A and B are shown apart, each in its own frame.
Chain A
Amino acid sequence: MAEHLLEVRDLSVEFHTAAGTVKAVQDVSWHLDRGETLAILGESGSGKSVSASAIMNLIDMPPGRITSGTILFNGRDMLAMSAEERRAINGARIAMIFQDPLAHLNPVYTVGWQITEMMTTHGAPREEARTRALDLMKRVGIPRPELAMNKYPFQFSGGQRQRLMIAMALACKPDILIADEPTTALDVTVQAQVLELLGELQDETGMGLLLITHDLGVVAEIADRVVVMNSGCIVESGNAAEVYRNPQHPYTKKLIDAAPGKGEMPDEQERKGEPLLSAIGLHKTYGAFHALKGVDIAIMPGETVAVVGESGSGKSTLARAILRLDDPNSGQVLYRGRDLLAMSPRELFGLRRDLQMVFQDPTQSLNPRMTVFQLISEAWAIHPGILPRARWKERVAELLVKVGLKPDMAARYPHQFSGGQRQRIAIARALAMEPKLIVCDEAVSALDVSIQAQVIALLDGLRREFGLSYLFIAHDLPVVRDFADRVVVMKDGEIVEEGPVRQIFDAPAHPYTRALLAASLDPDPEIQAARRAARNLEEGLEIA
């Protein structure tokens, strides 16, 4: 039998919690060869990160316990090694990068110092380490590396920080790079660049790349082989393109079906009459930063308008300005012809009912000390006219059923629900107001793909049932494609393009829209391969 660079055999890990023993992974086996990219695909709680944590000795023991299995690195069992030996391997032979680079770079040291330190702890002389750090920063595409060496992590953008993490990981020329959701926190265009960089570096160094992700698009872009995990077990593994085209396990099928961006786009509807809500010439500055530069937007009754853009484009500021969470510097927000910004607090209070918001992270937007019943019924406590107190219980139960939860869940607290369920509670809370317009600020981006599809379907059903309008703020283009009627593309506080969803996706006019569309990843490995080829060809032509 050929020896693999890294092989995990029958690994089982348990965690002892107060609620009993949780089997995080059970009998997981996979292997990684030199120069190969293996993706571990799974949703949150599937145990996809656990085997990587076991390799890096990152599992807290107790409460964690490895109950069975071996991890062979170059044929040697890592679990039988001494702590000393494992430290020598960590970082030097097997390196790791994480989802949130800001949390993993020390804020009080310069990045140059941190990369250098990585090498000196593994025995490299300081001068040599410095030169190599400089080379690495040049290689990962940090502009002006000599200056950047003396900067602190907060002075870099998210994408640059991830590049720095990669530079640090590569400092000791590892045999294996483990990337745990390396691009999840990044914008689509930056994600594409980081993935491309990882691919290039792998070609140069011949290292094995282990990629942990929930995103089919990332798998399609970069992985050779894929391992699909669900609740601690491997349900399917094989060639990435093969698995996508011909999924065997029902879970894999479900996952691939849930990937957004495949549905029929709605036809263009005529926009007649008065808009439900319109913003005219909104300006907002934070100090010297101009977040909104004269934004106009209109939403018809029953229409879903999506605002897409990367971080810093001002899309969330727009939502907050419309709801008067932050007052804009100038401009108008007309709701049924009346200017919200000119209203007194008393007048505004009456209209609060009609305009509701669903936030990105339901963990934070639900008060942890209130039960579901209290959370939903708070709407009626604030606006006494909606519902008499005697009917609250009944109505909460109705709303819970409407969003796909059980009525007896009303007595529970938010922490007792999963992320998707929490977002349903947040939606039920918004519905309790019987609003006309719901602003969804990245309302599905924190959710797993299959849950995302369910929540989108729920929102869509509610739109049909109640004639709701949505202002749907997102960075994820495939979701927008499935759900929106109109798309507004924002960049640097300005609207660069606006139109019906079909027009934006089929015939984008602005170069930025085109760049966004090109950077968003398709779950089909073949389509991604074709796009990569086209990109390389373009670059080749440019060089020639």
Chain B
Amino acid sequence: MTDTQILSGRKQSGALGRWFSMLWADKLAFFAALFLFVVLLCAILGPHFLDAYATKQNLRGRNAPPFDLTHGWIYVLGADALGRPLLARIVVAAQNTMLVAAGAVAASSVVGAALGLVAGYSRRSAAQWIMRLGDVIMSFPSLLLAVIVLYMLEPSVANIVLVLAITRIPIYLRTTRAEVLEVRERMFVQAATVMGASHRRIVFRHILPVILPTLVTIATLDFAFVMLAESSLSFLGIGIQAPEITWGLMVSQGRPYLTNAWWLSFWPGLAIILTTLSLNLLSNWLRIALDPAQRWRLEMRGRKNG
């Protein structure tokens, strides 16, 4: 019962302060959050300040190696095949990358989870239709679907988000449905039924909070997948169109030079890895912070350090 005493003793500080101290308690998650914050800043402000650098070609500085400051600090990460500074390009590309990845992940998870909740909770034939629809999407090669859709539509950021979102919906749909089927049979859901709770209340107050951590975890993993899928679309020439750039596109543009200029693909690749890693760490922290039965781990550690 010691943990209960700790909890009751820590209630004075505000909710925001409590969340911050829980984040501080998990150092990895704290730095992950910091990194994501920086990426977010780059995405919002980057194109505003560095767009001119990012598109300026400098044929004398083609494939300039990294850590060489003779061309100026902007070339610290080296330059690409047209002599454009990689640092500026990565910062500027953050916006498109984040837009596509976050948009696709958000759209597919919201739609997929909503459909999954219906498919899992409702016993009507609508549930069957939703599942078969998911099967159809899954059985259709996602890249082929993307090619067809983008061939017919304009390859813009919005359309790429749309295509990627559609192909990722079944992941959330199936996971959500499976979890709902299990949670629905739990005793506390029946207890709510006995109290006369409406379906809406049961779904949003009792079922969704239990399955949310799973969905968040899948979403963060999917983030990386979507970034790479977007780059393969770009590679096929139906994704983001130059001069617009994304990290994925930079990776695939650097591919032919891998043997003599590794940095072309390495830095944007590193950006992708660090972003998804940070998201993973943060989602892991969030899972613990959202679970009342686990939360003490963060609160205990926070106390020791603070």
Which A residues have a C-beta under 8 Å from some C-beta of B? 18-20, 323, 325, 348-349, 352-353, 355-357, 359, 361, 364-369, 371, 378-379, 381-383, 408, 411-413, 415-416, 426, 429, 433
Contact = CB atoms under 8 A, between A and B. Distances in A.
Nearest to A379: B195
A364 B183 CA distance: 11
Interface in B67-82: none
10 contacts: A19-B3, A19-B300, A348-B196, A355-B194, A361-B187, A364-B188, A368-B188, A383-B196, A429-B191, A429-B195
Interface in B166-184: none
Contact of B291 (A356, A369, A371, A378): A369
A359 B195 CA distance: 13
Nearest to B3: A19
Contacts of B297: 18
Given A19-B2, A411-B8, A368 B194 contact: no
A192 B194 CA distance: 36
Q: Tell me whether chain A's interface is mostly helix, strand or loop, or mixed.
A: mixed
A373 to B, nearest CB: 13
Contact of A416 (B1, B194, B210, B291): B1
Given A355-B194, A412-B4, 11 more contacts: A18-B3, A325-B194, A369-B210, A378-B197, A382-B198, A383-B195, A383-B196, A408-B8, A411-B7, A412-B8, A415-B293
A323 B7 CA distance: 37
Interface string B191-212: 1111111100100011001100
A369 B292 contact: yes
Given A325-B190, A353-B196, A356-B195, A20 B293 contact: no
Contacts of A353: 196
A382 B293 contact: no
Given A18-B297, A368-B292, A383-B196, A412 B188 contact: no
B11 interface: yes
B191 A359 contact: yes
Nearest to B207: A367
Given A323-B194, A416-B7, A364 B187 contact: yes
Interface size class of B (residues with CB under 8 A): 20 to 34
A367 B293 contact: no
A412 B7 contact: yes
B292 A413 contact: yes
B35 interface: no
Contacts of A413: 292-293
Contacts of B290: 369
Nearest to B293: A415
B186 A364 contact: yes
Contacts, number: 83
Given A349-B196, A353-B196, A408-B8, A359 B300 contact: no
A20 B209 CA distance: 30
Q: Tell me whether chain B's interface is mostly helix, strand or loop, or mixed.
A: helix
B187 A369 contact: no
B214 to A, nearest CB: 14
B225 interface: no
Contacts of B206: 367
A542 to B, nearest CB: 45
Nearest to B190: A325
A378 B192 contact: yes
B188 A416 contact: no
B26 to A, nearest CB: 14
B194 A382 contact: no
B296 interface: yes
Contacts of A18: 3, 296-297, 300
Nearest to A363: B187
Nearest to B4: A416
Nearest to A353: B196
A386 B254 CA distance: 68
B210 A411 contact: no
Contacts of A365: 187-188, 190-191
A357 B11 contact: no
B7 A359 contact: no
Q: Which 5 A-B pairs have the closest CB atoms?
A: A352-B196, A364-B187, A413-B292, A365-B187, A367-B188
Contacts of A20: 2
A449 to B, nearest CB: 21
Nearest to B295: A413
B12 to A, nearest CB: 12
Contact of B195 (A19, A364, A382): A382
Contacts of B293: 368, 413, 415
A366 B188 contact: yes
A240 B188 CA distance: 41
A382 B4 contact: no
Nearest to A349: B196
A365 B190 CA distance: 8
A143 to B, nearest CB: 33
B49 to A, nearest CB: 44
Contacts of A356: 194-195
Contacts of B187: 359, 361, 364-365
B11 A382 contact: no
